[in-house]
Amino acid sequence: MQSFESLARQFISQFAVRHFPEQPSTLYEPNEYFLNLGGKRVRPVACLMGNELFENILPDAWQVANAIELFHNFTLIHDDIMDKSPVRRGKPTLHEKYDQSTAILAGDVMLVFAYEYLNKIGKEFLHKILHLFNKTAREVCEGQQLDMDYEKRKAVTLEEYIRMIELKTSVLLAASLQMGAILGGAGERNQQLLYEFGRKLGIAFQIRDDYLDAFGDPAKFGKQVGGDIKKNKKTFLLIHAYSVSSAAQRNELDMLLQQDSPDKVEKTLEIFTACHVDEWALELKNKYFREALEHLDDIAVLSSRKSPLKELAAFLIERDH
Amino acid sequence: MQSFESLARQFISQFAVRHFPEQPSTLYEPNEYFLNLGGKRVRPVACLMGNELFENILPDAWQVANAIELFHNFTLIHDDIMDKSPVRRGKPTLHEKYDQSTAILAGDVMLVFAYEYLNKIGKEFLHKILHLFNKTAREVCEGQQLDMDYEKRKAVTLEEYIRMIELKTSVLLAASLQMGAILGGAGERNQQLLYEFGRKLGIAFQIRDDYLDAFGDPAKFGKQVGGDIKKNKKTFLLIHAYSVSSAAQRNELDMLLQQDSPDKVEKTLEIFTACHVDEWALELKNKYFREALEHLDDIAVLSSRKSPLKELAAFLIERDH
């Protein structure tokens, strides 16, 4: 069994090649630029780990891992346009560096190349892998749409928010693990348990992300605390604060959301703390994290094979930054 | 053998169903709206015809035909954003009727659904069909990129323009025919001949389109003549006019391109006629049309099976509108 770190290193090194043709350079240079922005490559590595849970890592798992990473980057390119984000990983986003049309088209062709990596796997699992990939891709689009819809709405329930997060981020992690398991010949039940492990881990990860944005240590977090609050982003924290706060606190939250005062972050955090939103969020995160690990425990393979996935879970959830 | 009209009627009727889930309606209603704008559905019908050239039409050919039509609509949705087109088939384009983010995402998910139709075909030809589909999708993106690049350039050679047209429009028609042929069990040589038939037909079609925009009968053409000239579009006609005109004519063309005078179309057409651009274009169109039919003749099946494809060629090229 290989550790998460070791597999990540191997994936990053084999992925650091040119994935696109030379010409037309006006289309493919932007793609190469975007891939070179880097990233933790968590999803493709999850595919390799899902594979190694059941079998020595097969060549097909590397192809699917490449497809997953290209798909993920396709969503980032298009999301950046929709969210009007100027910067990603400290560098200009594609539509900023080039132009919007180039970014749309670069994303499109990146998705097509993802499918061509999928097409390199053997006949045996092609239908199944493609079906899961398509279902996941469709759900990720649905999640992005819901995210945009919810931005325009005042009230979003916790259930709606969790479902959106699940679609937008969890299902890709879950499906990446499951695709590895499919290629490893895992049975249906083991596949589903691994999928659920990934799905709940993804939700726990997002809760932690929302939590850290408000309550994290700026020195460790690496970005300014309160970014979500400044942008009026609906997060686990804000949604819960609305549901448990007093009428007076709700009024104050309403006012804070409508303005851009210098003490907006501070005042919002005061309400969050008064409502014990921080403790609630950590508990909710721990609940999903625990459930994720229970699913992993239930998978019918030797427990020693599961240690890299436990490492992955810890890497995603327990770190402070 | 079924006629082009009969197959088109059948395809249109089986395609006129709901292709997307109900929810989230903010994502999928736009998709249904766009598909309901209609269209001649030439490409999917070409797939059915490519299939019937070699075999009774198989269920898999209908799945691939659906995939092709969804793919084509995905390209239209995204091209409309890039070209800032407000209207398609007399109705608002997606980004006009909804917003740009919705149009980007609706296009993305339409492409994913195209791949799921492909995934419904049997194991035997899945790899081959997917590979041709991916190659074609990639080329269509390249063609759109070149089209945008050339808009910003002053000089484009005839060879460059033909290659762009080939990528942007011909290869999808050619590949649609070939995918039908693959499913029909055609041999490699017959497949290639059919592909070449489609590729050259596509180029002939575009030359005719450029010609009609300048020299067509407005009553038959259905749109105002000279639209391309008003928009300074690089067409077969303009590119050829630059290459054969005198220095004085080139200067006048340069001036006409820089202004928006009321007699811009008339003056440009005068130069085109003086340079015999109209005759040249008809000859070039006929050359590609002839070569297309020669490839069709060379295909090793009974000539009676080829009559629907000859109808298709006539439908695309010889009509006046």
Average pLDDT by consecutive 10-residue portion of chain A (321 residues)? 95 98 98 96 98 97 98 98 94 97 98 98 98 98 96 92 96 98 98 98 95 86 80 92 96 92 94 96 96 97 95 82 41
Q: Are residues A180 and A237 in the same domain?
A: no
Same-domain check for residues A147 and A243: no
CATH code at position B91: 1.10.600.10
| Same domain (yes/no): A211, A174 | no
Amino acid at A118: L
Average pLDDT over residues B170-174: 98
Q: How far does the CA of residue A313 sit from the closest CA of chain B (Å)?
A: 30
What span, in angstroms and rounded, lies between the C-alpha atoms of A268 and B147? 50
Which residues are registered as beta bridge partners of B87? B92
Say whether A216 sits in a helix, a strand or coil: coil
Whether residue A229 sits in one domain with residue A172? no
Q: Is residue B46 part of a domain?
A: yes
Residue B13 exposure: Cα atoms within 13 Å on the Cβ side: 6
Q: A118 exposed, middle or buried (CB, 10 Å; 0-12, 13-18, 19+)?
A: buried
State which H helix or E strand residue B91 sits in: strand B91-92
Six-digit token pair at B251?
């200067």
Answer whether residue B132 is part of any domain. yes
Last residue of a domain, one of A124, A158, A186: A186
The answer, for B25 touching chain A at a CB cutoff of 8 Å, is no
pLDDT range class, residue B321, cuts 50, 70, 90:
very low
pLDDT of residue A321: 41
In a domain, A72, yes or no: yes
Which residues of chain A have a CB within 8 Å of the CB of B141?
27, 105, 108-109, 112
Domain containing B157 equals 1-186
Q: Tell me: do A103 and A128 sit in the same domain.
A: yes
Residue B192 lies in a domain: no
Determine the pLDDT at residue B157. Answer: 95
Does some domain include residue B49? Answer: yes
| Any domain includes B128 | yes
Could you give the number of structural domains in chain B? 1
Q: How far is B186 from chain A (nearest CA, A)?
A: 21
pLDDT digits (tens, 9 = 90+) for A134-167: 999 999 999 999 999 999 998 899 999 999 999 9
Exposure string of B117-150, with b = 16+ CB inside 10 Å and e = fewer, is bbbbbeeebbeebbebbbebbbbbbbbbbbbbbb
Examine residue A225 and state whether it is found in any structural domain, yes or no.
Answer: yes
- Name the domain boundary from A186, A220, A246: A186
The pLDDT tens digits for B114-167 are 999 999 999 999 999 999 999 999 999 999 999 999 999 988 999 999 999 999
User: In terms of domains, do A289 and A232 share one?
Assistant: yes
The answer to whether residues A181 and A258 belong to one domain is: no
Count of alpha carbons within 13 Å of B71, Cβ hemisphere only?
35
| Cβ contact, residue pair A141, B102, below 8 Å | no
> What is residue A220's predicted lDDT score, i.e. its pLDDT?
73
A142 close to B (CB below 8 A): yes
pLDDT per residue as tens digits for the range A81-120? 999 999 999 999 999 999 999 999 999 999 999 999 999 9
For the whole model, what pTM was predicted? 0.96
pLDDT tens figures, B94-117:
999 999 999 999 999 999 999 999
**Which helix (H) or strand (E) is B282 found in, with range?**
helix B277-298
Task: Considering only the beta carbons, identify the residue of B105, B148, B149 that sits closest to A141.
Answer: B105
Domain boundary at A186, A220, A241, which?
A: A186
In a domain, A257, yes or no: yes
Give the closest of A27, A104, A126 to B127, CB-based: A126
| DSSP conformation class of B57 | P
On average, the pLDDT of chain B sits at 95
**Cβ(B91)–Cβ(B37) below 8 Å:** yes
Question: How far is Cα B74 from Cα B68, in angstroms, rounded to an integer?
Answer: 10
The verdict on A5 and A90 lying in the same domain is: yes
Each residue's pLDDT tens digit, A69-86: 999 999 999 999 999 999
